[in-house]
Copies of this chain bind each other. A is one copy, B any other.
Amino acid sequence: MKIGVFGTGGVGQTIGAKLVELGHEVMIGTRDVAKTMAHTEPGPFGQPPFSAWLKQNPGIRLGSYADAARHGEVIINATSGTGSLDALHQAGDENLNGKILIDLANPLDFSRGMPPSLTVSNTDSLGEQIQREIPQVKVVKTLNTVTASLMVNPGQLANGEHHIFLSGNDPVAKARVAEWLATWFGWKYILDLGDITTARGTEMYLPLWLRLWGALGTGLLNVRVVN
């Protein structure tokens, strides 16, 4: 399958590498290809610069947001939450039209120090903003409640017995995404919360998630819903 992944950070890299490993044709989208390739400094967690990572992952192509959107039968938004709307506007309506957008982003604001706050919350969410501003896509919010390595490999933790959530207005799109989560990554517990307004719930879970990370000393954590 042809997949466009927006965002060159750790989440985009982890998702992109896993999808290529599964045999998909991945193009990663960025704002400015030349600038992205010119970066030489390591990332915020000491990871190699994107150009070095790309050299180690020759199956992955890099293009503009518009290129990646045109390439993808499905688009995955792995940009930072504060850059997501800009990236999607740059992608061009004609390249997005009718496609499923899997939105992994969280509207985290690190500008006021740690722990971050949310730039949108409570009566709105990033997922809703994207769906409102880009009505051409079918937004399915998911995977935003776990760290990148867990997104693509839930089985590494508690035998995969923990939950991932889905929010979105289109039941058919949600069903397809649920199938991909199961077949691509091995998610066993997928819970459909309802329409895109339920993204408020999963985005507002982030402050708790960050505190759980602090308390447990690891971001390799998730919740299992029991009822």
CB-based nearest B residue for A227: B221
Asked whether, in the complex, the Cβ of B214 is within 8 Å of the Cβ of A225, the reply is no
User: Quick check: which of A26-34, A65-73, A202-210 contacts chain B, the rest being far away?
Assistant: A202-210
CB distance from A45 to the nearest CB of B (A): 19
Pick from B157, B194, B200, B227: contact of A218, CB under 8 Å: B227
A25 interface contact, C-beta 8 A: no
Identical copies in the complex: 2
A38 interface contact, C-beta 8 A: no
A93 interface contact, C-beta 8 A: no
CB distance from A225 to the nearest CB of B (A): 6
User: Quick check: which of A7-15, A75-83, A115-123 contacts chain B, the rest being far away?
Assistant: A115-123
Asked whether, in the complex, the Cβ of A226 is within 8 Å of the Cβ of B225, the reply is no
A191 interface contact, C-beta 8 A: yes
Give A residues with C-beta under 8 Å from B.
112, 117-118, 121-123, 157-158, 161-162, 165, 191-194, 198, 200-202, 204-205, 207-212, 214-216, 218, 220-227
